[in-house]
């Protein structure tokens, strides 16, 4: 069976040239050339200067921009909750992906991952994290030290705190998967 793959990124390389954005887009481009892939799409969070509307717009063929944001960075809560169960799920319904490969959830929030499994529990979800931010807030799990390097304070991560936060997040994730039956 050929796969139908939706790649989700917290940014589009047309607007943000970060490593995660480029990696996600390159994966999308590679899927387009793969004979085992029936179809593939790219959904990226974008700030179009209108605030968080939650709307999803077509950028190019098989590429979409989602005007989403994060309202609570500590809990990674999406700013526009309603768009997850409406426009995002509507996009899933129209594309019918068999796989959703997520490249980070910063600027999007975590709730859309649960929405994928609630919509169709058979969709395989892959999550690639590109930085420590996903498992710890720099303000919480690090301490700034002196001297400044290249004008910035150097950061020393507290390994024990990272380990504890990672354990908490993993247990929370598995508990949520069990609770929604995925």
Q: Rounded to whole angstroms, what are the CA distances from 154 to 145, 147, 158, 165?
A: 6, 7, 13, 21
Looking up tokens 């309202």, which residue turns up?
71
Q: For residue 136, give the 3-state DSSP assignment.
A: coil
Helices then strands, counting H and E runs in the chain, come out as 6, 10
Q: Is 78 found in the same domain as 129?
A: yes
The pLDDT of residue 159 is 62
Q: Is 77 found in the same domain as 42?
A: yes
Q: Is 76 found in the same domain as 92?
A: yes
The pLDDT of residue 135 is 56
Q: Is 84 found in the same domain as 65?
A: yes
**Structure-token pair, residue 60:** 């190019």
Q: Rounded to whole angstroms, what are the CA distances from 2 to 31, 34, 40, 119?
A: 11, 10, 11, 20
Q: Is 159 found in the same domain as 72?
A: no
**Domain count within the chain:** 2
The pLDDT of residue 32 is 95
> 88, 97 in Cβ contact below 8 A?
no
C-alpha to C-alpha distance for 102 and 128, rounded to whole angstroms: 6
CB neighbour list of residue 6: distance below 8 Å, 6 or more residues apart:
40, 41, 42, 43, 92, 95, 97, 99, 100, 101
**pTM for this entry:** 0.74
- What tens-digit pLDDT sequence spans the chain (182 residues)? 899 999 999 888 888 877 788 989 999 999 999 999 999 999 999 887 777 888 899 999 999 998 887 788 777 777 777 888 899 999 999 999 999 998 877 778 778 888 999 999 999 999 887 766 655 554 444 444 444 444 444 445 556 666 676 677 767 766 665 665 54
Domain that holds residue 25: 3-134
The pLDDT of residue 153 is 46
The pLDDT of residue 49 is 76
Q: Is 140 found in the same domain as 115?
A: no
C-alpha to C-alpha distance for 42 and 121, rounded to whole angstroms: 21
């Amino acid at each position: 069976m050929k796969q139908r793959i939706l790649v989700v990124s917290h940014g589009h390389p047309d607007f943000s040239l970060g490593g995660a954005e480029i990696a996600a887009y390159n994966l999308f481009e590679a899927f387009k050339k793969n004979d085992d892939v029936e179809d593939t799409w790219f959904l990226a969070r974008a700030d179009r200067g209108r605030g968080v509307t939650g709307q999803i717009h077509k950028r190019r063929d098989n590429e979409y921009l989602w005007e989403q944001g994060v309202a609570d960075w500590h809990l990674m809560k999406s700013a526009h909750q309603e768009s997850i169960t409406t426009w995002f799920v509507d996009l899933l319904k129209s594309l019918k992906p068999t796989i959703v490969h997520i490249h980070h959830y910063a600027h999007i929030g975590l709730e859309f991952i649960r929405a994928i499994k609630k919509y169709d529990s058979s969709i395989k979800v892959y999550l690639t994290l590109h930085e420590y931010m996903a498992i710890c807030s720099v303000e919480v799990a690090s301490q700034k030290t002196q001297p400044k390097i290249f004008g910035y304070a150097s950061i020393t991560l507290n390994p024990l705190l990272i380990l504890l936060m990672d354990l908490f997040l993993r247990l929370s994730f598995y508990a949520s998967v069990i609770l929604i039956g995925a």
